[in-house]
Structure 1
Amino acid sequence: MTTERRERPSTWGKITDAEMERIAQRFASWRPDVPWWRDCTRDAFEHYALGIGNANPLFQDEEYAANTRWGGLVAHPLFLDSFGRRAGQGGGGFPGVHATHASLFWTFYKPVTLGLRIQMKSCMWEHYLAPSRFAGRMLDVVRRHAWVDEDDGTMIANNWGLVKRWERDAARGRRDTASPHRDWRRHVYTDEELQDLWEAYDAIEVRGAEPRYYEDVEVGDKVGPYITMPYVGREIISYYMGTGAPFMMSNTNMYNYFKRHPGANVPDPETQTPDVPERTHYDQQFARFAGFPDMFDVLQPRSGYGTTMVTNWMGDDAFLRELSMLGRRPVAYGDVCWIHGEVTEKFQRGDENLVKIVMVYDSQKWRASWGHALVSLPSRERGPVVLPEPGIDPETEPYDKENPTPEYAKEILYQPEPDLPDAAFIKDEVGVR
């Protein structure tokens, strides 16, 4: 039996001035996030590592981790993402308006260890209209997130995030004319290209127990590469198994969520079967209906792959202090992401011996992302890594209505593309490089 295609009436949400004013009343109103994990257990650490494709034994092998300076398992730094499913509690506003993460900026204060009790909380901070060739009216939303040790109240990490909101109808109408990826098509691999990929995966190194000392690092040193598998729906489903996801519910729970948030129900355009907007990441038809060329990845796991490259490089004795990433273009079906970086600064601040790494994320079509990492390394002269003083809980900070987001955060959320060479060794003719 064939089903005649029906265009769904244009009932998807709009970015209106009234809704912007309504949501602005919620700025700086912190609330706890709905967690995927409630406890820091071996299973939770391992499931996150498996979901993000991380093979570092520090994050999943208890016997190995017991012999490191941490004395036991620690979590991959971005494991913290799994302590909040973000949309599970609602409150984002603009029902029926699409959202995608655009950039992020993490600061870390201590590692996540077994038994740690964590509360994640978040809030919207500000929003403003942004120009777009892709979707017409687009809204930039700045959000803040914080992870607090429930036992002593100290900060574990905090995060600035930028989310893009746009009207799906407008994006779909411009997909084939104004979209920067209107000429996109799926890559067809040759046997030789696949063999090159397998050899590149075999060459990925995990430094592990061998310390990387501050004195041994020089500005200009290369970091990586780390190379992902070609993107397919399995990649994001594996990631969701480790972190949870805003709309990954079924049956009664899904129905009850749709009742509370009807704008989250984005039915299949042909059959009207109820479904969620998250399927842009594993459903080609819906991704195109929403204005994208194909199913595409998510910023959180992409940043996790970059974090994996850095933790592979820095070794067990180091500590990741900062991480940022700006998402410029999608990594879509069949695309590989080549992540590589370069040490651009080294300096000492108090007891910390710090190196800054600038990173880029290249697919065979275009530069998809860039960002930085700040790593605290052990020193031959000054000894092991000293963890920083606990950060200030951002919920206690005053809210400046005239200039809510400080300049240092804006500079990182909108950081310019670094001047690093393209790392991709497979190239497509289609795409903007």
Structure 2
Amino acid sequence: MAEATLKDEKAQLTEGKITEEGLEQLRSRIGKKLRITPFNTHASIDAILHFVDGVGDANPLFRDEEYARNSKYGKLIAPPSWPYSVFPTWVPQGLAGVHAFHSGNDWTFYKPIYEGDKITPELTFTHFEEKESKFANKTIIVHYDDNYYNQHGEVVANAKAWSVRAERHSARSKGKYSEIELPHPWTEKELEEIENEVLDEEIRGKEVRYWEDVNEGDELKPLVKGPLGITDMISWCIGSSPVPLKSLGVALRQYRKHPKWAFRDPNTGALEPTFAVHYHVDAAKSTGVPYMYDVGAQRQQWLIQHMTNWMGDDGWLKTNYAEYRRFVYLSDVVWLKGKITKKYIDDAGESCVDIDTWAENQRGENVMPGHSTVILPSKERDTWPVPKRV
């Protein structure tokens, strides 16, 4: 009988259990600052350009040095979402072999990040809660608080983050999303229509959007992303890698030290990181997800782009909140939408609008409910949010 080869097997991530011992180890870390490994630390022009290329953001404020010099910032800046590329707001600590799904962020932005700035992240593990789930029976929701400091010691942004920890075996046995047809069976006509919508993106730019010119009930023009493909994921990782992806001998030494960080691909014989669930179909299936899927931070970066596109160069994104519902699979399309729900002057005398946001896929599902607060210039009161923060 011929000897079995790796190709007779399927990629399988290591299995872990949510145990009382593991939970006790988590409890012992509550309130502590965790050791983390940043990806980007310096906001070089290359780091900013690689980031916006990966997000698919064409805004010249983040790309064109001469254009940015003529703005109120006076030089090139990074998008508000760039701190994601420094550190993705959370880390899958403890509970080895129990999968981690980034599930949402609540951002507050205080200062711009200029080309040349050095950004240092600080992560505090605040608490966790146990919850029953339709996806994987017992789950753990883990909460974090992140500050991002510039080289002057100023907090440029804060993020509240939460992730769901779920046993891979439980998620597979539930098969919650197994009925979805994937990859999505698009027609040529549908793809042509979608691509036309993608190219119809509106970037407000230097045309000032004044507070007086918007009204409660106004809807934002949708921003369209997709169909999501492998190269989109590669480009995104080049600019925003949320885990320290390494290769060959450097990676092997890491995996020998931490075996549960990797699995062997039976097709190539290579060790792959658990992060490969985002671009390796069998790895995704072993976590209970039927197909390769996006990264939560990536999805919220699209939302933040939607806000900066709409508000223009003279607006300021004050807060941005999003929950990652379901999965955005490779081949999916997402329409990011928003509606102004409140228009007011805040306690600091700034002209604010609150915006409810959501993201619809081609199946009509809201995969990212959220909300933002944007500060706009006021024509009548002659107030401008950007000069107060530069």
Which TM-score band applies after superposition, normalised by the shorter structure? Answer: over 0.9
* SS state at 1:204 partner: coil
Closer/same/farther in 2, CA of residues 9 and 243 from structure 1, 3 Å limit: closer
Verify: 1:278 aligned to 2:289, yes or no.
no
Give the secondary-structure state (helix, strand or coil) at the position aligned to 1:156: strand
| 2:385 counterpart of 1:386 | yes
CA contact (8 A) 1:320 1:374 kept: yes
| Secondary structure of 2:145 counterpart | strand
Aligned to 1:138: 139
Q: Deviations over 1:274-296 (max 9, x none)?
A: 22111111111221122111101
Alignment match of 1:361 (pick from 359, 362, 379): 359
Give the secondary-structure state (helix, strand or coil) at the position aligned to 1:369. Answer: coil
Displacement, 1:123? 2.3
Shift of 1:233: 2.0
Distance 1:63 1:243 in 2: 25
CA shift for structure 1 position 183: 3.6
> Residues of 2 paired with 1:154 and 1:10: CA distance?
41
Q: Flag the 1:52–1:197 CA change in 2: closer, same or farther, 3 A.
A: same
Structure 1 contact 31–122 (Cα < 8 Å) conserved = yes
Q: 1:3–1:249: structure 2 CA closer, same or farther, 3 Å change rule?
A: closer
Cα displacement (A) at 1:345 = 0.7
Matches of 1:134 and 1:23, distance apart in 2: 22
Distance 2:241 2:267 in 1: 28
Secondary structure at the counterpart of residue 134 of structure 1: coil
Q: Per the alignment, in what secondary structure is the counterpart of residue 140 of structure 2?
A: strand
- Unpaired runs of at least 5, structure 2: none
Corresponding residue of 1:164? 164
Question: Structure 1 residues 163 and 136 mapped into 2: Cα distance closer, same or farther (>3 Å)?
Answer: same
1:125·1:142 contact (CA, 8 Å) conserved in 2?
yes
Corresponding letter in the other structure for 2:128: H
Q: Distance in 2 between matches of 1:273 and 1:116?
A: 38
Q: Distance in 1 between matches of 2:205 and 2:386?
A: 19
Conserved 8 A contact 1:103-1:326? yes
What aligned pairs does 1:265-304 form with structure 2 within 5 A after superposition? 265-268=262-265, 273-304=270-301
Of residues 65-74 and 256-265 in structure 1, the stretch that sits farther from structure 2 once superposed is 256-265
The corresponding residue for 1:120 is 121
Alpha-carbon distance between aligned partners in 2 of 1:5 and 1:334, rounded to the nearest angstrom: 27
Query: What is the SS of the residue equivalent to 1:150?
Result: coil
**Structural mapping, 1:172-321, within 5 Å:** 172-175=172-175, 179-180=176-177, 182-268=179-265, 273-321=270-318
Residue aligned with 1:239, SS: helix
Q: 1:118 & 1:3 partners in 2: Cα distance? A: 44
Which has the larger displacement, 236-245 or 157-166? 236-245
Q: Tell me which amino acid in the other structure corresponds to 1:207.
A: R
Relative to 1, partners in 2 of residues 1:388 and 1:261: Cα closer, same or farther, differing over 3 Å? farther
Q: Deviations over 1:120-149 (max 9, x none)?
A: 111221111111112122111111111012
Q: In 1, distance between residues paired with 2:14 and 2:312?
A: 52
- In structure 2, the CA distance between the partners of 1:29 and 1:260, relative to structure 1 (3 Å rule), is farther
- More moved, 90-99 vs 338-347: 90-99
Deviation at 1:255, TM superposition (A): 2.2
Q: Provide the C-alpha distance between the structure 2 equivalents of 1:7 and 1:52, rounded to a whole number of angstroms.
A: 32
Q: Provide, for residues 56-76 of structure 1, a one-character-per-residue CA deviation record: whole Å limited to 9, x for no partner.
A: 000010011111111111111
**TM-align CA RMSD:** 2.3
Partners of 1:79 and 1:351 lie apart in 2 by 28
Following TM superposition, by how much is the alpha carbon of 1:13 offset from its aligned partner in structure 2, in angstroms? 1.1
Q: Which moved more, 1:254-263 or 1:375-384?
A: 254-263
Alignment of 1:343 onto 2:344 = no
Could you say what secondary structure the match of 1:45 adopts? helix
Counterpart selection for 1:76 from 51, 75, 79: 79
Q: Is the CA contact (8 Å cut-off) linking 2:78 and 2:112 kept in structure 1?
A: yes
Q: Deviations over 1:374-407 (max 9, x none)?
A: 11111112224336999xxxxxxxxxxxxxxxxx
Partners of 1:270 and 1:192 in 2: CA distance? 35
Counterpart in the other structure of 1:412: none
The whole-number CA distance in structure 1 between the counterparts of 2:387 and 2:100 is 34
- Aligned equivalents of 2:9, 2:116: Cα separation in 1: 52
**Residues 12 and 286, structure 2, Cα contact 8 Å, conserved in 1:** no
1:19 deviation in Å?
A: 0.7
Which range is displaced more, 179-188 or 356-365?
A: 179-188
Letter in 1 for 2:340: V
SS in 2 for 1:303: helix
Judged with a 3 Å threshold, the aligned counterparts in structure 2 of structure 1 residues 8 and 325 are, in CA distance, closer, same or farther, namely closer
User: Matches of 2:257 and 2:384 in 1, distance apart?
Assistant: 48
Output the CA distance in 2 between the equivalents of 1:338 and 1:296. Answer: 16
Greater shift in the superposed pair: 56-65 or 111-120: 111-120
For 1:129 and 1:270, how far apart are their aligned partners in 2? 37
Tell me whether 1:19 sits opposite 2:16 in the alignment. no
- Is 1:317–1:384's contact at 8 Å kept on the other side of the alignment? no
In the alignment, the residues of structure 1 paired with residue 273 and residue 12 of structure 2 have an alpha-carbon distance, to the nearest angstrom, of: 17
SS of residue matched to 1:74:
coil
| Residue identity in the other structure for 2:171 | A
| Compared CA separation, residues 270 and 139, structure 1 to 2 (3 A) | farther
Give the C-alpha shift of residue 307 in structure 1.
1.0
User: 2-side partners of 1:213 and 1:6: how far apart?
Assistant: 60
CA separation of 1:289/1:231 partners in 2, compared to 1, >3 Å: closer, same or farther? same
Contact 2:6 2:266 in 1 (8 A): no
- Kept in 2: contact 1:214–1:353 (CA 8 A): yes
**Cα-to-partner distance string for 1:288-330 (whole Å, 9 max, x where unaligned):** 1221111011111111111111111100011111111111111
Structure 1 partner of 2:66: 63
TM-score, normalised to structure 2, is 0.92
Residues 226-253 of structure 1: per-residue CA shift (max 9 Å, x gap): 0002012222211110012314111233
